[in-house]
Amino acid sequence: MIESKKTKQQLDADKVRSFIAIETNQKVKKTSDELIEKLKRMGFRASWTKTSNTHLTLFFLGDQNITKLAQLAYKIGDRLAGFPTFHFYVEKLGFFERNSIPRVLWLGIREDTTLNGLYEEIKKVLKMCEFEVKENVFTPHITIGRVKNYPKHWKELLSSTSFEEIKVFVNSIEIYSSELTKNGPMYNKLYTIDFEGGVIINGQR
């Protein structure tokens, strides 16, 4: 029997654009929506994050094979078994700029050693599984908009905008697929990896 080889198109169909993230909570989503409406009134124009897409990205994986993602999920599950449940605080509105132009608006996370530890543990697994990992400084944030236009005194406006800090409890991480559409990215949860060592596939353990 001659086994047929997959075409490039078939191989590409087995890949999904993916990332690892932590879910937020309803208070973060509500605050995000309120801030976005306030920023719009100030004159900011952006590709705004939908409430359902609000999350804290840990690693962007790019286009990956489905089978490889499944293997990664279980490897991370083994590594994080027994990792302590913890919380972090969302505490400020921030931005990334380039050439004195705002590019990305985000909700900033207070420095947290447990969150940093979680990031490092996942990074170790990614390297062991031969995923490409950029050696960037981990700056945890929740993106709320990618700026297209902005008012003249944008820095002053952003620095004057505040909100009450929000506590977010963490007992799992997620692996998502991301499909780019004309209406913005569509996210689908592929795996939930909880700290008790369980891996939930599309909502089923």
Catalytic: which of 61, 141, 150, 168? 141
Candidates 169, 172, 159; CA nearest to 27 is 169
* Block residue for tokens 């991370």: 76
Q: Give Cα separations from 133 to 18, 116, 124, 128 (angstroms).
A: 14, 16, 9, 11
Residue 141 a catalytic site member: yes
- Residue 142, pLDDT above cutoff 50: yes
Beta bridge partners of residue 109, listed in sequence order: 90
Q: Return the beta strands (E) in 36-171 as ranges.
A: 45-48, 55-65, 86-98, 101-109, 141-149, 166-170
Residue 55 a catalytic site member: yes
Rounded to an integer, what distance in angstroms lies between the CA atom of residue 159 and that of residue 147?
16
- Residues 6 or more apart whose CB falls under 8 angstroms from that of 204 comprise none
Percent of the residues in the chain that have a pLDDT greater than 70, as a whole number: 91
pLDDT tens profile 65-77: 999 999 999 999 9
Strands 55-65 and 199-201 turn out to be unpaired
pLDDT tens profile 87-98: 999 999 999 999
Q: How many residues can be counted in the chain?
A: 205
* Block residue for tokens 């207070």: 110
Domain ranges in the chain?
Answer: 17-201
Quick one: pLDDT at residue 168? 97
Q: Which tops the pLDDT comparison, 205 or 22? A: 22
- Residue 125, pLDDT above cutoff 90: yes
Across the range 127-132, mean pLDDT stands at 92
Q: Which CATH number fits domain 17-201: 1.10.10.10, 3.30.530.20, 3.90.1140.10, 3.30.750.24?
A: 3.90.1140.10
Beta bridge partners of residue 15, listed in sequence order: 65
Catalytic: which of 22, 29, 32, 55? 55
Tokens of 69: 């993602």
